[in-house]
Structure 1
């Protein structure tokens, strides 16, 4: 039988680099800590709770960001690990009201708040009270902060709500943006912005009149891998870009969903999935097209496409000479990809537009030997990035990177695409000399 003893730590242990004093003391006094735990466990529960409450009351509030840093665990030659998540304290986050509880909201947007640093859901708006009641319970939203489409305007009396996120059929964006601005709230609106240029202009005017910000939810412009592709294009990493191919196809379910009704959707594949091809090309280049030409084809007898188009192909010409060929459809197997062909290499994204699992590959031939490089994907939640950018703009009075003017420009180009297909000839567009002419403040690059 023997008695176990704890050897004393060497004096040099306290001088270990990169560790804060409290951590050193904890390690140094680990044996004493075990004894303390035993003593503390013997305290009456009421006394322990009183001590904890007293400590909370005495703790001074933290001023400034709650940014906690940790020393690196990796050698400089290894990939860098992530720093702590560092979200804002709940009372500092920007409160959102989510309007519409369909697939996108329930599958992507509401879960994204769990990855958000600066935003929180505080209110819901829906036409289905029972579903809304369940969702409110899931996300800890008060029953008093649940509204119908008829009581939507009462959001003006809810001080917790600073931003309204509109996730409704396209034709409803106009009405609920204007009503939201009149209620004194900032607006984040899903794309496409509206179903006509006139509606887009009225939405912009309403938000400006109310002194409120308007952002369109172009998530690709906030996603890290697409931002890397844009940087490579803008930096001419592989020489000048010359040709771009964009594809966004999916096979729609055979049901009478709102996307198949022109009164709700405004159009078919073009404003829904084709918009990604249009907007991402503009985003990568920073230029605006000077001419579009297009063709539309819809399979006869397919009940899904009685009111809206099935397939659209369109070509855009840009001032630098770049030609972008785009294909979008509602009746083929899922394909969401693009390629930017430059003088000395090609940047590929496949998939490019999905919510998760994006992949980038760069093909080039330095010294005559072909190489394929794959940048690491930071795997950020695209919707959380959008939510946080809008929150940052609200808190710091910035113009969103994708404001209403960005949505209006896309709508004008889509109208030219429809015109070209109808007239079977190219359509000229007004020249825009400025790079990123319709964008606002770039999103803040946060440490991984």
Structure 2
């Protein structure tokens, strides 16, 4: 199989079904104005035809208005209480929820009561039990768990190659995602607070990427977990996983071996090994125009092909896919129920590390 030919035939937005209408855009209310929303999501939406930000929601209306001014966003600024009271509901069609994990549920509940679609950041919530409540609350509205790798062109090509038999039967997955949260957000980051983040820092925020991306590419669900974790830096004293090494067993006897750390060099990779070939994406998971997809096959893997992809803003494409699904009226692949599966897998990882034994998902 010639990976270059497939790449040439591949359309980066192979999921697109409708044409955006700049005169009738999907209007977002952005809930939670931390650095990710301000530096990533707001510019991504501004760059995409057919979607726009019309409401900003933060701890105070003054902060929301200040962010609107600083980002040149023509949006109404309201506080969290006003959002729950239904303020400015006529000004937006969908809510983007980017609060700390343990605060996702109340905003999804309110959005559902207001009959608004939701794009909710991952992980879906802080615990599987709260995620189950979120799924129930969102019944009847379109909701997407924000897995940006699902619309990343390299991952979509990898999925197509696998589905066309390029690597034979999958045998194993290897992956890692690491960053230094102390450099990015400091020791007071909510990601280091179990009350806001969930059971840990690294698996919940970073390990979820290889867990879910392998699910997406292979279309196999997690069934069990094993793990070891360590925390030695004082900033990580409240969480068990400054560094986590863990195994996820997927359906069909495929095991993923993963590492996640919030106190390491910014790095990511994904390798899928099959009976007849191997796919490797590196760097993986970040917005990085250096990303290359490598396909190796033949005896001893002597034949290797490498392709590059046009740089895309992962957040922009994710938001565009969400909007396209709403315009087309079709089901969203990574809905809330999909995100709930990962919450159960994450909890199994932490339980496995605590018990020192294999734990079923």
> Taking structure 1 as the reference length, what is the TM-score of the superposition?
0.72
Change (3 A) 1:104 1:362: same
Match of 1:90 in 2: 22
**CA offset at residue 115 of structure 1?**
3.1
Alignment CA distance shift 1:125-1:368 (3 Å): closer
Aligned CA distance change for structure 1 residues 369 and 312 (closer, same or farther; 3 Å): closer
In structure 2, runs of 5+ residues without a counterpart are 1-7, 13-17
Match among 383, 400, 411 for residue 332 of structure 2: 400
Equivalent residue number for residue 313 of structure 1: 245
Question: CA separation of 1:342/1:358 partners in 2, compared to 1, >3 Å: closer, same or farther?
Answer: farther
What are the superposed Cα offsets for residues 285-336 of structure 1, whole Å, 9 maximum, x if unpaired? 101122211111111xx22111112121111223322221011112222221
Query: How is 1:164-203 mapped onto 2 (pairs within 5 angstroms)?
Result: 164-203=95-134
2:220 is the alignment partner of 1:220: no
Task: Name the Cα RMSD after superposition.
Answer: 2.3
Do residues 109 (structure 1) and 41 (structure 2) align?
yes
Q: Is the 8 A contact 1:98 1:165 kept in 2?
A: yes
C-alpha displacement of 1:255: 2.2
Residue 335 of structure 2 corresponds to residue 391 of structure 1? no
Match of 2:72 in 1: 139
**Structure (1 or 2) with the larger CA radius of gyration:** 1
Report the equivalent of 2:165.
236
1:272 to 187, 202, 205: 205
- Residue 149 of structure 1 and its aligned partner are, at CA, apart by 0.9
**Mapping for residues 289-438 of structure 1, pairs under 5 Å:** 289-299=222-232, 302-309=233-240, 310-357=242-289, 359-366=291-298, 370-429=302-361
2:310 match: secondary structure: coil
Shift of 1:212: 1.3
CA-to-aligned-CA distance 1:384-417 (integer Å, 9 cap, x gap) = 2221222122223222111000110001111111
Query: Cα deviation per residue 1:228-269 (whole Å; 9 max; x = unaligned)?
Result: 111112222122221110101112214211111111111210
For 2:106 and 2:25, the matched residues in 1 are separated by: 27
CA distance in 2, matches of 1:87, 1:118: 8
Measure how far apart 1:339 and its partner are. 1.0
Q: Does 1:246 align with 2:161?
A: no
Report the CA distance shift for 1:246/1:149 in structure 2 as closer, same or farther (over 3 A): same
Aligned to 1:40: none
Aligned to 1:52: none
| Post-superposition offset of 1:124 | 0.5
* Contact kept in structure 1, 2:246 and 2:349, CA below 8 Å: yes
Per mean C-alpha deviation after superposition, the further-off stretch among 319-328 and 112-121 is: 112-121
More strand by share: 2
CA distance in 1, matches of 2:107, 2:148: 21
Cα drift, residue 109 of structure 1: 0.5
Determine helix, strand or coil for the equivalent of 2:278.
strand
Q: Structure 1 residues 140, 244: CA separation in 2 closer, same or farther (over 3 Å shift)?
A: closer
Contact in 1 for aligned 2:23/2:50 (Cα 8 Å): no
Structure 1 spans left out of the alignment, 5+ residues: 1-78, 430-448
Cα distance in structure 1, aligned partners of 2:225 and 2:304: 33
TM-score, length of structure 2 as denominator length: 0.88
Q: Which residue is 2:15 aligned to?
A: none
Deviation per CA, 1:47-93: give whole Å up to 9, x if none.
Answer: xxxxxxxxxxxxxxxxxxxxxxxxxxxxxxxx79x99xx97343321
